[in-house]
């Protein structure tokens, strides 16, 4: 509970920015001294580029560090290369990147199968937790998949 009668000026540090004569950011930032020198830092050593690196056309410099564990490859890599040809302010950049993520997930499943490993898709997708914490949402999702799958099978079988 706050005591309205408390003298806040006695609390160390309380209201230290109230004195406008002592506040360099009022009414505008004062770019002198140490505040101005903050952009004069020593840049980190550049990580060697020994993989294909996709860069934004808005920022042509390579960032100091970047991930190397999953370089672009396969169909998802082709989609990513297409996306990075376009500006970041366009859907032609972001929508293909989202699609590439989905394609890459399927590529991972096929890669597991090719190596002889059967992926545990139910566990990897978190269906156990979904069943425990969101059973209604899981049932709705399963119903949608069932309906769409049934319609797709009927459509394909009619064409034959």
Alpha carbons 18 and 27: distance in angstroms, whole number: 13
Other beta carbons within 10 angstroms of residue 25's beta carbon come to 9
Tens digit of pLDDT for each residue in 52-76?
988 888 887 787 778 888 889 999 9
CA 121 to chain CA centroid, Å, is 22
**Could you tell me what percent of the chain has a pLDDT over 90?**
44
Average the pLDDT over 96-125 and give the result. Answer: 92
Tens digit of pLDDT for each residue in 127-158?
899 999 999 999 999 999 999 999 999 988 88
Residue among 83, 86, 51, 90 at smallest CA distance from 67 = 51
- Who's near 48: CB < 8 A, 6+ residues apart? none
């Amino acid at each position: 509970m706050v005591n309205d009668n408390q003298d806040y000026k006695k609390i160390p540090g309380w209201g230290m920015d109230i004195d406008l004569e002592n506040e360099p950011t009022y009414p505008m930032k004062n770019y002198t001294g140490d505040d101005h020198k903050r952009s004069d830092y020593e840049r980190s050593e550049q990580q060697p580029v020994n993989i294909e690196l996709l860069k934004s056309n808005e920022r042509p410099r390579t960032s100091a560090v970047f991930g190397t564990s999953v370089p672009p490859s396969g169909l998802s890599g082709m989609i990513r290369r297409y996306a990075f040809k376009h500006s970041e302010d366009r859907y032609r950049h972001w929508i293909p990147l989202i699609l590439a993520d989905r394609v890459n997930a399927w590529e991972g499943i096929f890669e597991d199968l090719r190596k002889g490993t059967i992926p545990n898709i139910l566990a990897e997708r978190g269906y156990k937790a979904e069943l425990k914490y969101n059973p209604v949402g899981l049932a709705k999702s399963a119903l949608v998949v069932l309906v769409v799958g049934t319609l797709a099978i009927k459509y394909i079988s009619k064409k034959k």
